[in-house]
Amino acid sequence: MTRSSDILIIGEGVSSIFPILLGKKRVTVIEKGKPFSRILVSGNGRCNFFNEDILDKDNRFNKIILNEEEKNYPEEVLSYIQNELDISFYKEGKYYYPFFNKSECFYYPLLKKIEKSEAFFIRGEATFIDHQKKEVTYVNEGKKEKIKYSKLLLATGAFSYHSERNYQLLNSLQVKLIPFSPSLCPIRVKEKIPSYLPGLRIRGTVHVQIEGEELYQEEGEILFKNDGLSGIVIYNVSLFINSLPYKEKEIKILIDYSSFSGFKNTSKVALPENLLKYINSKNLKINEMLNFTFDSFYDFPFSQTSYGGISLDEIDLSSFMLKRREDIFVAGETINLNFPCGGYNIGYNMIEGYKIIKRML
């Protein structure tokens, strides 16, 4: 006999946390891999899970995701984390971290709460969605099985931290997909990075230009790698480059290291030795911007998020329901809704799931 579920969730991604916890015994979850693994690697193992800007009811992402009646959802999510999950946290600048500054201090309390939930878990891999029959095919211990649903949430995440993924499940939805690409990741540059430069960290402003026109700039820390650049500011640059409609044009990345946070470097000698060596090798003047050319993104296993997914044209953002499939909801990295570094991704993925389960119940 084919199993059935009131609410079927495919994937234990961050956006499925609240649907699992609040949906209780009405929920069945299909997940093959390690649940909520995104949390363990967030913030370099510190779990930057929220950003103060998310509490600003008028910030640009809230305007996309939340309507007037839902603008208190960020506060409700934080309250649940503190009071129901019993997770203490603190704020560093605008970034929220678990009190002991370790991802495990968020991950394991959450896992214990999930394990005590009334949801039913299937440790298998969903492979096909038949939206006409309202039925999902999955593989469990090498055997194909099926389960029917009344409502379906797709919260599988995307390609980040994985070397192998396929489009089979998403293709079965018959919706428009934006091809996945690594995002929030280091970038390779066309210029050769000399052996003495990798490992150097400098602060400054990164400028992105195409044909001399400046399209983006951000201040932050830059890390030199063997074949390119890294650091949070570079991760955000990778997100911006992903959004460009014309990646075939030459993309220049300029680094102004002469000032940071309102302070200006006036010295011509008090520079890192390896930076000074590089400046001299390029016949640059002190404080002249470093010039690099974008080549490619690092691969998916080195990316924090994946750019792409189900096109927003297919989604009713008032409910995160597919416009042509009124019983199917999508959230998280499954959809082409992308956020910068700094706690936005985990924070908004939780809020999306919170919003969806409120609509389902």
Which pLDDT band holds residue 165 (cuts at 50, 70, 90)?
A: low
For the stretch 187-202, pLDDT in tens is 999 999 999 999 999 9
Mean predicted confidence (pLDDT) in 119-124: 95
- Over 90: is that where the pLDDT of 167 sits? no
Q: Are 168 and 174 in contact, with CB atoms under 8 Å apart?
A: no
| Distance separating alpha carbons of residues 197 and 278, to the nearest angstrom | 8
pLDDT higher than threshold 60 for residue 206: yes
E strand intervals along 225-323: 228-230, 251-256, 259-260, 263-264, 290-297, 305-310, 315-316, 321-322
pLDDT surpassing 60 at residue 166? no
Q: What confidence tens digit (pLDDT) does each residue in 337-346 have?
A: 999 999 999 9
Measure the CA–CA gap between 17 and 13, rounded to whole angstroms.
Answer: 7
pLDDT on residue 80 = 97
Identify which has the larger pLDDT, 247 or 235: 235
Joined together, the tokens standing for residue 70 give 């839902």
| Tens-digit pLDDT profile for residues 18-27 | 999 999 999 9
Angle, alpha carbons 17-344-245 (nearest 5°): 115
User: Does 29 or 32 have the greater pLDDT score?
Assistant: 29
pLDDT of residue 120: 96
Tens digit of each residue's pLDDT (9 = 90 or more) over 142-164: 899 999 999 999 998 767 765 45
Residue 193 confidence (pLDDT): 97
Over the stretch 270-296, which tens digit does the pLDDT of each residue have?
899 999 999 999 999 999 999 999 999
* 313 band by pLDDT with thresholds 50, 70 and 90: very high
Average pLDDT over residues 352-361: 95
pLDDT of residue 163: 46
Q: What's the pLDDT score for residue 245? A: 84
**Token digits of residue 207:** 């400028």
pTM score, whole prediction: 0.92
* pLDDT confidence tier of residue 42, bands split at 50, 70 and 90: confident
* Two structure tokens written together for 3: 């199993």
The rounded mean pLDDT for the chain is 93
The stretch 254-258 carries a mean pLDDT of 96
User: Taking the alpha carbons of 142, 126, 28, 38 in that order, is the dihedral positive or negative?
Assistant: positive
Q: Is the pLDDT of residue 16 over 80?
A: yes
By DSSP bridging, strand 143-154 and strand 325-330 are: parallel
What mean pLDDT do residues 95-108 have?
96
Residue 210: is its pLDDT beyond 60? yes
Give me the pLDDT at residue 280, please. 94
Q: Measured between alpha carbons, how far is residue 149 from residues 4, 16, 323, 329 in Å?
A: 6, 16, 18, 12
